[in-house]
Chains A and B, each alone.
Chain A
Amino acid sequence: MTQIVQIVGIGLVLTVLVIVMQEQRGDWAELVRIGGGVLMLLFLVAPLIKVVNDVTRIAVLASIPGVYLGLLFKVLGIAYLTTFAARIAYDSGESGIAARLELAGKLFILLLAVPLIASVTDALLKLVPS
């Protein structure tokens, strides 16, 4: 419970700092924004590790193959990183670069999912009597 208070506090301090620095020097406001954003994401890492471990344990209990779970986590990681980078670009006013980054993330997630889709299609085709 103290952690969420901490993160909210960092967010508020960061907002005030960026607003103050935006008028003086825009480049420094940008730096502070990126640094604070990274810091807030780093604070989220510890809870995220707990969630990942718990999900892995539940998946083992449900005897879900580890390949699928690894794929899911890979997709999550790609989404995490690309969203982070795209948000930085978007905050800097470069919405075009942000859109391209998100497109790249979606494409690579699709790339990971294609074998699964193929295997599902194969299974369906086997069910259909030709």
Chain B
Amino acid sequence: MPNIDLIFKLAGIGILVTVAYTVLERLDRKEWGQLVALAGIAIGFLMVLQEVAVLFRTVRSMFNL
């Protein structure tokens, strides 16, 4: 059974990154904010990519591709 937590994890990281970006922008540290946003996107993409890999593997083994 796949876990539903992934969606909430992704959304939570997204909201956290948005807040951090806004705070850093207010503090005149825009380049740091962009760095944080980039790091967050990378982490999120890694999480999603793992699930995509699981899906591909499952489909390949199920249909003998």
Shortest CB-to-CB span from A10 to chain B, Å, is: 6
Q: B-side binding surface: helix, strand, loop or mixed?
A: helix
Of chain A, the residue at the smallest CB distance from B41 is A27
Question: In the complex the two chains form, is B52's CB within 8 Å of A38's CB?
Answer: yes
**Given contact pairs A10-B4, A17-B7, A35-B47, A42 touches B14 in the complex (Cβ within 8 A):** no
Interface residues of B in 18-58 (CB under 8 A from A): 18, 37, 40-41, 44-45, 47-48, 51-52, 54-56, 58
Question: In the complex the two chains form, is B14's CB within 8 Å of A39's CB?
Answer: no
Of chain A, the residue at the smallest CB distance from B45 is A31
Question: In the complex the two chains form, is A52's CB within 8 Å of B62's CB?
Answer: yes
Question: In the complex the two chains form, is B64's CB within 8 Å of A81's CB?
Answer: no
Question: In the complex the two chains form, is B7's CB within 8 Å of A25's CB?
Answer: no
Measuring CB to CB, which residues of chain A are less than 8 angstroms from any residue of chain B?
Answer: 10, 13-14, 17, 21, 24-25, 27-28, 31-32, 34-36, 38-39, 41-43, 45-46, 48-49, 52, 70, 73-74, 76-78, 80-81, 84
Measuring CB to CB, which residues of chain B are less than 8 angstroms from any residue of chain A?
Answer: 1-2, 4, 6-7, 10-11, 14-15, 17-18, 37, 40-41, 44-45, 47-48, 51-52, 54-56, 58-60, 62-65
14 interchain pairs, CB-CB under 8 A: A10-B4, A14-B7, A25-B18, A28-B40, A31-B48, A35-B7, A38-B55, A41-B55, A73-B62, A77-B62, A77-B64, A81-B56, A81-B59, A84-B55
